[in-house]
Structure 1
């Protein structure tokens, strides 16, 4: 049956279901529900309040895999389109590129903090301490990037254009980090600006999730697992045993280096550089009233 022959109620319902605003909300709910169920199963199996590093790492891996599977099902059966975000061709190259950006940016941030006397190394652990961190890095890298770039940014961009999508996804990314230990309003704002812009810009350039997942994972592992600095307010045993000293604006204080002025400057500058690259590549989606109403570019748009 052609769309014109369908009852008006069915046509309206189909348009609502296909609209990016609906898909964005439904997609977020799908991922959160899958993550919540996974966590419930893990805590039911181990109700002890003192969770081990192995438990936390296993939970992280499970959350990452389940959220990826939920996203796959959502794209294939709700959106009814190919899963281009996780195409295999070029995946390793993009993931490695993201790893290099994340590790390089965080190393530069710590180097600046150390140059001004805010960071020093007092000892080291065995490299084995880094291994349990990969579960947490998978959880944050895969699950959060699916949520904030694969769903929130992508659908907000289809609906409102790139600038609004970048603003919304970055703001919410900062807000969710306010629930982390030792968080402050400045820490949330710093995360929104430095990480929200950088991750959004890298996603715009690649239009896939591999690079932003690699960037997010390397950012966390380098900060906590290598340099022994708190990751978003959470203590992480790292290869290096470190000491931070000085004003919170330099070191990030109890939240960690992400809430520092060096991080804000370096990561934001990098994000703006990639935004410029995205603009040059023609990756910016411009807002319009037609896009707002329908979630698609006007038929006569170039």
Structure 2
């Protein structure tokens, strides 16, 4: 029942908040305000439902150190996507034609904030954490990562390869980041940094959902395997490679900190003896 109530609470915010923000997408300022509001509401609801159902504070969204952890995550996610774009640019597959839209970037800031927070509380805060209790860190990472990737197949220009790429570079990587730090702030930052860099800065497609006009007026062309085609650079082998590498780094850190939950232990990491506070 802990899982049921938490899942229902966060998916309600996910669905209602996402629908509301999408409905005002044409208005950049309203998207900014509503997006940030939905993001804040998702964190508050998650913290509240964890306290009510588990009778403990939600340490993975603790206020102490939240800004620093989120900031580090944004740098990691944004830096990772920037590395992909630089690689494409040097290969001649990404071209900048000038400046784009500042107000468009602001609207995308709000939109991506809502996406990052709601998806992280659903997939890492609830699905990964509860699955990990039952089957251990590695199996939970694989299962929830695949579910996360396949959920992107509902996007307009989605492909099976794109969904699998998302599973590896985002689903696996973000689960590993949560295992290493036991902090949703870090995974929210990584998720937001990646998405906002993709749409709000470099103006590329995000998960096949359409070309976004961010700070740069730019275009991508070239072999689909390298550029990601209509799905965007997230389906590029470069993104998969960088994401897989970062996954290994986070798993190494999780093991070093003793945060790996063995299969069959039925133990909640980050709640009891593994880590009392997110790091």
Q: TM-score under structure 2 normalisation?
A: 0.89
Call closer, same or farther: CA 1:93–1:39 in 2, change over 3 Å. Answer: closer
SS at match of 1:89: coil
Supply the RMSD in Å over aligned alpha carbons: 2.4
1:142 to 84, 93, 117: 117
**Structure 2 residue 110 is the aligned partner of structure 1 residue 131:** no
CA deviation after TM superposition for structure 1 residue 39, in Å: 5.8
* Counterpart contact for 2:100–2:215, Cα < 8 Å: yes
* Counterpart contact for 1:170–1:193, Cα < 8 Å: yes
**Structure 2 residue 83 is the aligned partner of structure 1 residue 108:** yes
Match of 2:277 in 1: none
**Structure 2 residue 218 is the aligned partner of structure 1 residue 242:** yes
Match of 2:95 in 1: 120
Match of 1:270 in 2: 246
Deviations 1:61-99 (A, max 9, x none): 333233222212211111211110111222222111101
**Structure 2 residue 236 is the aligned partner of structure 1 residue 260:** yes
1:171 to 108, 127, 146: 146
Instruction: Describe how 1:206-245 pairs up with structure 2 within 5 A.
Output: 206-234=181-209, 235-245=211-221
Match of 2:10 in 1: 31
Call closer, same or farther: CA 1:286–1:36 in 2, change over 3 Å. Answer: same
Instruction: Indicate the structure (1 or 2) with the bigger Cα radius of gyration.
Output: 1
CA deviation after TM superposition for structure 1 residue 192, in Å: 0.3
209-218 vs 87-96, which moves further: 87-96
* Cα distance in structure 2, aligned partners of 1:210 and 1:176: 22
What runs of 5+ residues in structure 1 fail to find an aligned partner?
1-16, 18-22
CA deviation after TM superposition for structure 1 residue 35, in Å: 3.6
SS at match of 1:117: coil
Match of 2:261 in 1: 285
* Counterpart contact for 1:35–1:66, Cα < 8 Å: no
* Cα distance in structure 2, aligned partners of 1:262 and 1:283: 29
What runs of 5+ residues in structure 2 fail to find an aligned partner?
275-279
CA deviation after TM superposition for structure 1 residue 52, in Å: 3.0
SS at match of 1:232: coil
Match of 2:55 in 1: 80
1:182 to 133, 141, 157: 157
* Cα distance in structure 2, aligned partners of 1:103 and 1:296: 30
Call closer, same or farther: CA 1:225–1:37 in 2, change over 3 Å. Answer: closer
Call closer, same or farther: CA 1:71–1:281 in 2, change over 3 Å. Answer: same
SS at match of 2:92: coil
Call closer, same or farther: CA 1:271–1:38 in 2, change over 3 Å. Answer: closer
* Counterpart contact for 1:197–1:272, Cα < 8 Å: no
SS at match of 1:187: helix
Call closer, same or farther: CA 1:25–1:186 in 2, change over 3 Å. Answer: farther
